[in-house]
Structure 1
Amino acid sequence: MALWEDFKKFSFKGNVIDLAVGVIIGAAFGKIVSALVADIVMPVVGLVMPAGDWRNAGMVLRPGATPKDDLILKWGDFLGTIVDFLVVSIALFFIVSRLVKGLEKRLEGDKPADTRECPSCCETVPVKAKRCKFCTSELPSATAQAA
């Protein structure tokens, strides 16, 4: 029975639930980005490339007795996978790096400051401090400094 209790504690920790939600959202987002790449970006790339169906491009290295026995180097599929990766990477960069960081900054902006600057030595000290820990000068009260 102790094993079951340990498993329940592990399974329902906040970090495990957060990770599970993150994986599910990541999978859903991956489908969206894959659809964007396959349905919008790759047709445009196909128009730019000399051959329209370039993902199926390849080279027969060793012809066999039948087409099933051929050894084919599928360089078109490999290049398509690289383009897919680059587009997904760029999309993730803009979404994660730009949007999420911007939202975090907005949310952090609403919090009151928990540190302030010492007027004598310009070091950062807690708001509640009455004396600077660096230069030991007395600090004005936080309400007097805010006004």
Structure 2
Amino acid sequence: MRDFQAFLMRGNVVDLAVAVIIGGAFGAVVNSFIADIVTPVILTPALSAAGVEDIAELSANGVKYGLFLSAVVNFIVIAFVIFVMVRLFERAKRKEEVEAAAEPSVEEKLNDTLAQLTEVMERKL
């Protein structure tokens, strides 16, 4: 039982659990975005022309290609959102790296101070 408790309390297990929960919530947001915004705004004309109200109703000879199209649209939206998020994180990381590179390190400051001190002492001798 202790081994099981130690396993559950390891950081990566907790991180994974949090990621799964957030991923599920993110999936619900994306599904709502597709069903409530993308489908009515973008797909309504195409669905009206096909004579259906829901993309899931699209079928031909029993093949429910509408469900497949819905999954493809969901995938594209999820991929795009993840792409944008990764780009934003990369931009923030680059900004931090540039700011860190612009600031002299403690070692550089110490070396500069020692060099200045050496110059002052040599002038006095």
- TM-score, with normalisation over the residues of structure 2? 0.67
Q: Give aligned-pair identity as a percent.
A: 36
Ranked by relative contact order (alpha carbons within 8 Å, sequence separation 6 or more), the top structure is: 2
Do 2:59 and 2:66's aligned partners in 1 also have CA atoms closer than 8 Å?
yes
3-state SS, counterpart of residue 59 of structure 1: coil
Amino acid in structure 1 at the alignment position of 2:18: V
3-state SS, counterpart of residue 73 of structure 1: coil
Give me the whole-angstrom Cα distance separating, in 1, the residues matched to 2:51 and 2:96.
Answer: 47
Q: Which residue, out of 3, 24, 36, partners 1:27?
A: 24
Do 1:33 and 1:91's aligned partners in 2 also have CA atoms closer than 8 Å?
no
Do 1:34 and 1:88's aligned partners in 2 also have CA atoms closer than 8 Å?
no
Alignment size in residue pairs: 106
1:142 pairs with 2:108: yes
- TM-score, with normalisation over the residues of structure 1? 0.58
Give me the whole-angstrom Cα distance separating, in 1, the residues matched to 2:69 and 2:77.
Answer: 12
Other-structure match for 1:104 = 93
Do 1:46 and 1:52's aligned partners in 2 also have CA atoms closer than 8 Å?
no
Uncovered stretches (5+) of structure 2, i.e. residues with no partner = 117-125
Q: Which has the higher helix share?
A: 2
Query: Shift in Å at residue 82 of structure 1?
Result: 1.2
Give me the whole-angstrom Cα distance separating, in 1, the residues matched to 2:38 and 2:10.
Answer: 40
Do 2:58 and 2:65's aligned partners in 1 also have CA atoms closer than 8 Å?
yes
Do 2:8 and 2:14's aligned partners in 1 also have CA atoms closer than 8 Å?
yes
Query: Is the alpha carbon distance of 1:52 and 1:86 closer, same or farther for their aligned partners in structure 2, counting shifts above 3 Å?
Result: farther
Q: Which has the higher strand share?
A: 1
Amino acid in structure 1 at the alignment position of 2:73: V
The two structures, once aligned, show a CA RMSD in angstroms of: 3.0
